[in-house]
Amino acid sequence: MSSAISAVRRLQFCSGHRVYKHESKCAHLHGHNYVVFLHAQMAASLRESRGGLGLDELGRVIDFAVLKDRFAPWIENNWDHGFILWEQDAEAIAALSHMSDQKLFLLDANPTAENMALHLLNVVAPVVLAGSAVELTRVVLWETENCIVEVGR
């Protein structure tokens, strides 16, 4: 069991998507103003040598600005003001490919909030946090104010 302290950075982005083969309206191309909460903890291997709480010399998990600097460029470059589609959604990919210069991100799973949060946790975080003292332990993604997913390790 871990009693480590988490630092949480909130970021916002706007993206279009559709949920391929959704039974109802989410099958249509549409978008959301997403809000993501990124929960970071000091890596377990470092925590033990620092008294167990997982704080640096200044008493922080990590500077909040560092979390923004690591994640915001990835989100801006890949998801913000772009479309996120499942790489198997050939119909929507073909439709958007007719547009010149349309920003498109192909996800290896249907772009539900759950799969987007998992992508941030398992694929993006290990890359953008490489070389830092922290690891991402939890992602909370708001698709709307009422529809929220949480994934963690």
* Residue 81 annotated among the catalytic residues of the structure: yes
From start to end of the chain, where are the E strands? 7-17, 30-42, 82-86, 104-107, 134-142, 148-152
Under 8 Å between Cβ of 56 and 62: yes
Catalytic one of 22, 48, 81, 150: 81
* Residue 39 annotated among the catalytic residues of the structure: no
* Residue 32 annotated among the catalytic residues of the structure: no
Residues contacting residue 89 through CB under 8 Å, at least 6 positions apart: 18, 20, 110
Nearest to 115 by CA among 139, 135, 91: 139
Catalytic one of 17, 119, 135, 143: 143
Pairing of β 104-107 and β 148-152: unpaired
Cα–Cα distance between 89 and 11 in angstroms, integer? 27
Catalytic residue numbers? 26, 81, 143
